[in-house]
């Protein structure tokens, strides 16, 4: 299983295992299944993806909280992980949530790659 301490490390590992594009595809699939009309381009660099995901989540939480919660549910980010977030600044919390989203999507991609569909 892919182990990482932050988003950049995780995305770098995914690129080295040729799973980066599949991660973006999985993220887009979950956005679509959450009825969110947004798509991340597969050509984004890892830093661009991280930055865009943070901005996207920030926009969702401030402008459409129901969609934000629906996406977290669809991605399957655990409540326990969300409760552990300890930051008073919204931006810092969203950066941590973005990492949790990427980590969960990476798990899905890795499991599909190693154990079939």
* Mean pLDDT in consecutive groups of 10 residues from the start of the chain, 117 residues: 82 90 97 96 95 97 95 94 83 93 95 84
Burial of 60 (0-12, 13-18, 19+ CB in 10 A): buried
Sketch the domain layout of the chain as residue ranges: 7-115
CA atoms within 13 A on the CB side of 66: 1
Model pLDDT, residue 87: 73
pTM summary value: 0.92
Q: How many CB atoms lie within 10 A of CB 97?
A: 22
Distance in angstroms (rounded) separating the CA atoms of residues 93 and 82: 9
Model pLDDT, residue 54: 97
Helical H runs in the chain?
7-16, 20-33, 46-63, 65-75, 79-83, 90-115
Q: Maximum Cα–Cα distance for the chain, whole Å?
A: 41
């Amino acid at each position: 299983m892919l182990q990482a301490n932050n988003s950049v490390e995780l995305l770098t590992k995914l690129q080295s295992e040729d799973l980066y594009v599949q991660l973006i595809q999985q993220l887009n699939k979950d956005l679509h299944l959450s009825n969110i009309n947004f798509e991340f381009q597969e050509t984004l660099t890892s830093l661009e993806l991280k930055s865009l995901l943070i901005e996207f989540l920030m926009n969702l939480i401030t402008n459409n909280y129901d969609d934000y919660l629906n996406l977290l549910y669809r991605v399957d980010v655990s409540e326990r992980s969300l409760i552990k977030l300890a930051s008073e600044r919204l931006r810092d919390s969203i950066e941590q949530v973005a990492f949790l989203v990427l980590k969960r999507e990476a798990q899905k991609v890795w499991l599909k790659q190693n154990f079939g569909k």
